[in-house]
Amino acid sequence: MSQGVLNIVTTPIGNYADLTLRALRILNESDYIICEEYKEANKFLKFFEIDKELFRINEHNEEEFDNEIINHLLSGKKISLISDGGTPLFADPGYSLLKQCIELNIKIDFIGGANSVIAAIVLSGFNISRFRFAGFLSPKNDIRKNEIHKLKSEDNVIVILEAPYRLRQILEDFNLIIPERNIFVGCDLTTGNEMQFRGTASEILNQIEENYKAEFVIVLDKFYFKKNDNNI
């Protein structure tokens, strides 16, 4: 029996029209689909009239299901891995499964498409010849502030992800620690509700409502030394 394949399938980050034809075909051909959250996956698959069995993995059960999924792959199944939106494995579950597939020489295919990180850095207008993906900062105030201090003099553009309800909180931290840094915030990218904010943390805080909530990506411009800086 031929070995199966794990398809890492990029899904739209907001606008379903961004799904590629190849991704649509691969999902339809899959024996089943691994998702991050049932609600988001069902909504997405229903839109495209794809009826497949779903397996949900997250940070709590990933290792528990890995062996079962590996056995299905070894028996010849075609399995697709999706996230709630965008490219899987960007701060999403699936790493340990991917690692085992590599170790066992199981075929892996990547199906590209929309990516919120790439969308945000391009829209930022910053020099993105080099950038650092910092992922999610800590939800704990003291640890997060310490992480921001470590990023303070980073000589690259920095991309940060955060929970939808924590935008004001992280901007307030930036305003305290890096008040002069230019920032881009892309909210609900590719959707009809897309918003783009540019400026310092203080300037952006003045542009958003108190309880503003959205899926967002933050891009920090690189640190530029001033001519009168003692480091010059």
Query: What pLDDT, in 10s, does the model give residues 8-29?
Result: 999 999 999 999 999 999 999 9
Q: Give me the pLDDT at residue 232, please.
A: 42
Using the predicted structure, report yes or no on whether residue 203 has a pLDDT greater than 90: yes
Residue 147 and residue 57 in contact, taking contact as beta carbons nearer than 8 Å:
no
Do 38 and 126 sit in the same domain of this protein?
no
How far, rounded to the nearest angstrom, does the alpha carbon of residue 112 sit from its chain's CA centroid? 13
Q: Give me the pLDDT at residue 209, please.
A: 87
Cross-strand bridge partners of residue 160: 135, 218
Higher local confidence (pLDDT), 152 or 31? 31
Average pLDDT, the chain: 92
Do 57 and 126 sit in the same domain of this protein?
no
- CB atoms closer than 10 angstroms to residue 193: 11
What count of Cα atoms within 13 Å lies in the side-chain half-sphere of residue 100?
A: 17
Going by DSSP bridges, is the β-strand pair 78-81/32-35 parallel, antiparallel, or unpaired? Answer: parallel
Do 172 and 84 sit in the same domain of this protein?
no
Distances (CA, A) of 90 to 8, 74, 85, 118, 161: 12, 25, 10, 12, 10
Q: Give me the percent of the chain exceeding a pLDDT of 70.
A: 96
Alpha carbon distance 94, 97 (integer Å): 5
Does 227 map to a domain?
no
List, for residues 29-71, the tens digit of each pLDDT value: 999 999 999 999 999 999 999 999 999 987 777 777 888 999 9
Do 54 and 137 sit in the same domain of this protein?
no
Final residue before a domain boundary, out of 111, 133, 167: 111
Question: Helix or strand or coil: residue 8?
Answer: strand
Do 68 and 161 sit in the same domain of this protein?
no
Distances (CA, A) of 205 to 140, 211, 227: 21, 11, 28
* pLDDT average, residue stretch 83-107: 91
CATH at residue 53: 3.40.1010.10
Quick one: tokens of 203?
Answer: 């300037």
Domain count of the fold of the chain: 2
Do 66 and 161 sit in the same domain of this protein?
no
What count of Cα atoms within 13 Å lies in the side-chain half-sphere of residue 57?
A: 23
Distances (CA, A) of 71 to 5, 30, 34, 54, 76: 12, 16, 14, 16, 9
Final residue before a domain boundary, out of 55, 90, 111: 111
Which domain covers residue 137, as residue numbers?
Answer: 116-220
* pLDDT average, residue stretch 76-82: 97
Do 18 and 102 sit in the same domain of this protein?
yes
Do 16 and 105 sit in the same domain of this protein?
yes
Does 225 map to a domain?
no
Does 226 map to a domain?
no
Using the predicted structure, report yes or no on whether residue 6 has a pLDDT greater than 90: yes
Does 230 map to a domain?
no
Using the predicted structure, report yes or no on whether residue 196 has a pLDDT greater than 80: yes
DSSP string, 213-224: ---EEEEEPPP-
In the structure, what pLDDT confidence band is assigned to residue 224 with cuts at 50, 70 and 90?
A: low
Do 123 and 208 sit in the same domain of this protein?
yes
In the structure, what pLDDT confidence band is assigned to residue 182 with cuts at 50, 70 and 90?
A: very high
Final residue before a domain boundary, out of 78, 111, 144: 111
In the structure, what pLDDT confidence band is assigned to residue 90 with cuts at 50, 70 and 90?
A: confident
Closest CA to 28 of 8, 57, 48: 48
Q: Give me the pLDDT at residue 93, please.
A: 84
pTM, two decimals, is 0.86
Ramachandran region, residue 56 (left: φ > 0; alpha: ψ -120 to 50; beta: rest): beta
Q: Give me the pLDDT at residue 22, please.
A: 98
Using the predicted structure, report yes or no on whether residue 231 has a pLDDT greater than 50: no
Do 121 and 207 sit in the same domain of this protein?
yes
Do 23 and 74 sit in the same domain of this protein?
yes
